[in-house]
A and B are shown apart, each in its own frame.
Chain A
Amino acid sequence: MNPQLLRGLCYIAASIFFVFGLKMLSSPRTARKGNLVSAIGMLIAILTTLTAMTDVKWAWLIVGAVVGSAVGAMAARLVKMTSMPEMVGLFNGFGGLASLLVGWSEYHWNWAGSNQTILFTTVAILLTVLIGGVTFTGSLIAFGKLSGLVNGKPILFKGQNLVNAGLLIAIVVLSIAFCATGQQAPEAERGSLPYVLLVISILSAFVLGVLSTIPIGGADMPVVICLLNSYSGLAACAAGFVIGNNVLIVSGSLVGASGLILTSIMCRAMNRSLANVLFSGFGSATAAKGGGYQGEAKPISTDDAYLMLEAARNVVFVPGYGMAAAQAQHAVRELGELLEENGAEVRYCIHPVAGRMPGHMNVLLAEANVPYEVLVEPPDVNPNIEMVDVAVVIGANDVVNPAAREDENSPLWGMPIIEVDRAQTCIVLKRSLNPGFAGVDNPLFFKDNTRMLFGDAKASITSLVSEFKQ
């Protein structure tokens, strides 16, 4: 058979593996196998490509592949589950950088070799380096914010939107200039102007990536990571247009679509538009606060909390970023098991934006051996939350803030929340009465049926566990 035809078929097979792999991710039972199926697709794609290569610099290739694999494998093995958002953020960036390098390398090869370069290819190269560049530096900033290397607060300065708009216009002008000058007839005299324009475009994309990510606060990072995830796919897709390869286009757009859907899910879960997340500097000190809620919070001791939980028949845990920060997931699982032995029904209700990336809490609780059947979503709990005897809120704040339902002036107004204030009793584990990330006071703390258990979440839960064991 014609080898080129055979390779085409292999690429189709690889794409089918990716599609089935993603399809199997729709259930926790098949998800792990799905990941393996997708990995096999990748192996097929790589091996197929290797057979097509005529002039291979094996030494370089092997060094690159071995170093990359070793770094990847080490990171995958060593990363803590609480640090998953940082790692995914960083990997998005590497994906973008890799695509950028592919685009640049292809341009250089055409330029140095005086090959024919048509408009289609120059546009594709430009898109690859721009998307890849924004993804790379944007992800580095996201990584820095999530891991605490950079201050997680939104960084705002005067005329920020003006600067960004100016930069965007500059990039558009550069792009047009590059596409107009970058085409080459075969064997033609090559000009250095388009190359300079390309390098300036890459640098501008780097700056844009930084500037567009710094005004976004730490708790809005789930949205940003989803968006960057999408970009890294689109960069790979654009690289597919550069080399005219369908498998890159298919897989790149699958990832692009995935990131876009997750982005829209996150935005909907916060009842905010993407533009609001990206440009408003939400959670900065200047953001509007809700009308200062008055009232008295009712602090309780672990003894009181123990008595309430001991009598409860229906308990819902509501974890948030605070649980991850305190590394309390194992203690929470232990408490949940003791409550079950005590005859209570125990569920864990997870808000889509809890934590620093979508599904973050699920992974932490899975790590602590909580079976996935008891991890539920707000629509599973809210309709009959009056039946819940005790709702335990662990380090979550904005996602349980009743101001979303009660106060039209609150920045959280309209956000779908977990309505723990309607449960029989609500115990809030928290360090202090400080408002959550959004900088919005939480009237939940002052409700009649709310009790505050102040202190480190892990310490509080651990002492509850030991009371149950006595």
Chain B
Amino acid sequence: MELNATTMPLLFFVFVLAMFLGVELIKKVPSQLHTPLMSGSNAISGITIVGALIASGRPNSDAMVTVLATLAVTFAMINVVGGYLVTDRMLGMFKSKDKNGGTR
């Protein structure tokens, strides 16, 4: 996005609204799901992979950028893949009393 006087306030606008939305969403998560919530939100914070990809694809960049961006991609991918998989593994263990009911 081109950063100028119109777009910069818009970014803040999105930021503030998303914070409020986040608060409303998370308030409703029961305490028994707080661990999966944390590992799941951990995976979401891996969204920085988008930044890492953009950084790695910058034109006319030197070797330093390649190294930094590749490392960023690596660590972000650990977060994304590890976060989602471990959350899934955990949530797969949460079972209802109704054992035949196929709760999910």
Binding site for B on A (CB under 8 A): 18-19, 21-23, 25-36, 38-39, 42, 45-46, 49-50, 52-57, 60-61, 63-65, 67-69, 71-73, 75-77, 79, 81, 84, 87-88, 91-92, 94-95, 97-99, 101-102, 104-106, 108-109, 112-113, 118, 120-121, 225-226, 229, 232-233, 235-237, 239-262, 265, 350, 352, 357-360, 362-363, 366-367, 369, 371-375, 377
Contact = CB atoms under 8 A, between A and B. Distances in A.
A61 B70 contact: yes
Interface in B36-79: 36-62, 64-66, 68-79
A69 B14 CA distance: 30
B14 A246 contact: yes
Nearest to A54: B59
B51 A239 contact: yes
Given A42-B80, A94-B79, A64 B11 contact: no
Contacts of A121: 3
B101 to A, nearest CB: 10
Given A35-B91, A73-B85, A232-B45, A254 B2 contact: no
A204 to B, nearest CB: 19
Contact of B22 (A92, A109, A256): A256
B32 A372 contact: yes
A120 B57 CA distance: 22
Contact of B88 (A35, A72, A101, A239): A35
B7 to A, nearest CB: 7
Please report whether the interface of chain A is mostly helix, strand, loop or mixed according to DSSP: helix
Contact of B23 (A92, A236, A257, A367): A257
Most chain A Cβ neighbours within 10 Å, of B22, B28, B48, B104: B48
B50 A247 contact: yes
Given A55-B58, A56-B56, A68-B73, A369 B95 contact: yes
B59 A225 contact: no
A363 B70 contact: no
12 contacts: A22-B37, A29-B104, A34-B40, A55-B59, A76-B86, A91-B79, A95-B46, A105-B55, A105-B65, A105-B68, A258-B38, A369-B93
B81 to A, nearest CB: 4
Given A21-B44, A359-B34, A360-B35, 6 more contacts: A50-B53, A92-B42, A101-B71, A225-B38, A243-B54, A350-B31
A148 to B, nearest CB: 20
A79 B85 CA distance: 11
Contact of B33 (A25, A240, A252): A25
A360 B18 CA distance: 27
B96 interface: yes
Most chain B Cβ neighbours within 10 Å, of A61, A68, A359: A68
A27 B30 CA distance: 7
Given A61-B56, A72-B77, A236-B51, A91 B85 contact: no
A102 B95 contact: no
Contact of B26 (A87, A102, A246, A258): A258
B31 A109 contact: no
Given A73-B81, A243-B51, A87 B38 contact: no
B58 A101 contact: no
A237 B15 contact: yes
A60 B56 contact: yes
Most chain A Cβ neighbours within 10 Å, of B3, B18, B66, B90: B18
Given A31-B33, A84-B90, A248 B50 contact: yes
Contact of B69 (A42, A69, A101, A258): A101
A105 B1 CA distance: 18
Contacts of B62: 108, 112
A36 to B, nearest CB: 7
Contact of B56 (A57, A259, A357): A57
Given A53-B53, A64-B73, A244-B7, A109 B61 contact: yes
A359 B59 CA distance: 45
B95 A257 contact: no
A239 B76 CA distance: 13
B97 A371 contact: yes
A460 B23 CA distance: 43
Across the A-B interface, the 4 shortest Cβ-Cβ residue pairs: A68-B77, A257-B22, A72-B82, A359-B34
A258 B18 CA distance: 11
A246 B20 CA distance: 15
Nearest to A362: B32
B54 A19 contact: no
A344 to B, nearest CB: 16
Given A113-B61, A121-B3, A363-B90, A73 B82 contact: yes
Contact of B74 (A56, A68, A358): A68
Contacts of A367: 93
A23 B19 contact: no
B72 A53 contact: no
B48 A239 contact: yes
Given A246-B11, A251-B45, A57 B59 contact: no
